[in-house]
Amino acid sequence: MTTDPRPAALAAATSADPWDILVIGGGASGLGTAVEAATRGHRTLLLEGHDYAKGTSSRSTKLVHGGVRYLAQGNVSLVREALRERGLLRRNAPHLVRDLGFVVPAYDWWAGPFYGVGLKLYDILAGKLNLGSSKYLDREAALERTPTLQPQGLMGGILYFDGQFDDARLAITLLRTLEDHGGVTLNYAPVVGLLQDGKQVVGARFRDAETGREYEARARAVVNATGVWVDDVRRMEDPDAKTMLSPSQGTHLVVDRHFLPGDSAIMIPRTDDGRVLFAVPWQGHVVIGTTDTPVPEASFEPRPLDEEIEFILTTAARYLSPAPGRADVRSVYAGLRPLVKNEKTDGAGSTAAGATAALSRDHIIRVSGGGLITLTGGKWTTYRRMGEDVVDRAERLAGLPERLTVTPGLHLHGWSQEDRPDHWKVYGTDAERVQALPGADRPLHPELPYREAELRWAVRFERARTVEDLLARRTRALLLNARASLEAAPRAAAILAEELGQDQAWANTQVQRYREVARGYVLG
């Protein structure tokens, strides 16, 4: 018997009644906007062309943070806002966000006092929402927290605290929260054009990617929250719209936990390219990154460059002993940042220094002549504030009732403080329901923490439609161990086909499509 929830979602999305707010894009900014709109009582529809968090929003460094590097750049307002949002998210989703200590190693006599002062300011800016006070560590204490830190020349370090999360799981939690508050969502529904009444944007035309059929959705306000693809949607209204973004690629490597076995992460405050580098324990593994590489155009599957991989490994080798090599990498992934151009940016999208590190990390809202509201920039940590700002603007622009936000204190779907292993904890109060499904006692793969029941849950309640959805975002198998996920793909496809009432040929096609994507995460 099929458990396919899509027909009901499609019927709701194609309702003849106009929506108050139509959001295009199912990443951090789009989901944050839609939750904000729905919780204020506005009729809200969200359309996603691929899968929720398919792009940048599932490929982060897994940190909910204020941005230590932005503090060094003097962007105090951005850091203060991000630290406040970090604290709110920690309160509103304790099943997804946890406190994590970071050690900044000091190999020069001046490094401890220098970074110590900056991180005390970080604490002060966080105010009552601070996660923990920073402090100086002597050499022994630094090695106790991070035993594989390079001991030669180490003088000590600074300990500070930030948050850690699972980005794709937060996206799915926001999806469930949106539905809890009456919002309607549909993935695999790419917008192919905007509806206009004269010059005014009054909705969008979208295609059901599974059937090819096209539909229209009318709305009083339309929000373009498509991340690095916002310019594509803007040009549906105005083909001559100037480019807003200069995308930057950030690459990460995932290695085994023994390369960082302590309870803390490591933050290298200044690499050769002027960025910070993190080594972060995450779900029994370690994520190391990231880079900041300008790219000429956006891709749904950006590929890490060999020079990025070598840069991360070379930098990590200076600070970790033993250090991982290419053969130790379980998965490699890249995401694109929607960086907003500044006045120093030339037509080709490069800065005077040829680097995207100088471009704005702030979010911006731009309204076109026809009323299309474009939201871009920002980062996961500030998703809620981005949504609040854009719905404020949409209410005024569309003449909607102006209502106060409730999201600063809104518990997200599944809110729970119960301590569980990571792959169960992310479900919050839904965990017991997931464990009641068939396959709760059957591992998906011996090298992965997941159970078959989690895939069934993802299809029935989390809008998973493909093997990639299951292994890349509903579970994080692809990021934890790309080769193991490839081996698990046939079983995942069989479960997906059973849940959706599809045949073996369909399942075989799913496996083949997944293999084409997943091979890009295997470091040869």
In a domain, 67, yes or no: no
In a domain, 332, yes or no: yes
The beta strand positions in 229-312, using DSSP E, are 248-256, 264-268, 277-282, 285-289, 293-294
Same domain for 150 and 250: yes
Structure tokens at 380: 């996961």
Sign of CA dihedral 72, 75, 78, 84: positive
Same domain for 240 and 303: no
Q: Which CATH number goes with the domain that contains 308?
A: 3.30.9.10
The pLDDT of residue 120 is above 50: yes
Same domain for 495 and 426: yes
Residue 328's CB is within 10 A of a number of other CB atoms, namely 17
At 495-504, the pLDDT tens digits run 999 999 999 9
Q: Which amino acid is at 108?
A: D
In a domain, 225, yes or no: yes
Same domain for 258 and 152: yes
* pTM for this predicted structure: 0.95
Q: Which CATH number goes with the domain that contains 466?
A: 1.10.8.870
Of 100-104, 193-197, 296-300, 436-440, the poorest mean pLDDT is in 296-300
Q: For Cα atoms 166, 168, 173, give the angle at the middle one, nearest 5 degrees.
A: 90
Q: What per-residue confidence (pLDDT) applies to 361? A: 57
In a domain, 496, yes or no: yes
Q: What per-residue confidence (pLDDT) applies to 1? A: 56
Mean pLDDT for the chain overall = 92
Q: Which CATH number goes with the domain that contains 177?
A: 3.50.50.60
> Per-residue pLDDT averaged across 195-224, rounded?
97
Q: What per-residue confidence (pLDDT) applies to 272? A: 75
Same domain for 327 and 232: no
At 326-335, the pLDDT tens digits run 999 999 999 9
Same domain for 499 and 377: no
In DSSP terms, which residues pair with 254 in a beta bridge?
287, 331
In a domain, 91, yes or no: no
> Per-residue pLDDT averaged across 96-118, rounded?
89
Q: What per-residue confidence (pLDDT) applies to 140? A: 97
In a domain, 401, yes or no: yes
Torsion of CA 161, 167, 172, 173, to 10 degrees: 10
The domain in which residue 433 lies consists of: 422-521
Of 14-28, 100-114, 317-331, 437-451, the poorest mean pLDDT is in 100-114
Same domain for 297 and 312: yes
Burial (CB count within 10 angstroms: exposed 0-12, middle 13-18, buried 19+), residue 40: buried
Q: What per-residue confidence (pLDDT) applies to 77? A: 87
Same domain for 280 and 219: no
Same domain for 174 and 159: no
Same domain for 255 and 120: yes
Domain boundary among 286, 305, 337: 337
At 141-159, the pLDDT tens digits run 999 999 999 999 999 999 9
At 375-399, the pLDDT tens digits run 999 899 999 999 999 999 999 999 9
In a domain, 61, yes or no: no
Measured CA to CA, the distance from residue 428 to residue 22 in angstroms comes to 29
Same domain for 250 and 326: yes
- Total structural domains within the chain: 3
Same domain for 287 and 276: yes
At 399-434, the pLDDT tens digits run 999 999 999 999 999 999 998 876 899 999 999 999
Measured CA to CA, the distance from residue 257 to residue 280 in angstroms comes to 10
